Amino acid sequence: MRFIKKGELPPVTSSYGLDSLKEVLQDAVFPMTKNELVKKHGWKLIDIDSKTRLPVFVKKQSDQV
């Protein structure tokens, strides 16, 4: 309803930028393999600022993170 009424999307996290990324990955336990990271956190949506959302994709490259 917020988007319909105000033309705004609600925030995905309570912070912006790298802090937003930290927030969405807070349950990630390192070290973990790249396969585990992709499986558990293949993509996330983070807040860049109050009006910008950014999808973050984790893709498989090497085995160890």
Q: For tokens 């070290």, name the residue.
A: 31
3-state SS, residue 54:
strand
Structure tokens at 30: 């390192």
Structure tokens at 21: 């990324």
Structure tokens at 5: 């009424």
Q: Which residues pair with 56 in a beta bridge?
A: 44
Express each pLDDT in 9-61 by its tens digit: 788 999 999 999 899 888 888 888 888 888 888 888 999 998 889 988 876 55
State pTM to two decimals.
Answer: 0.66
Q: How large a percentage of the chain has pLDDT more than 70? A: 85
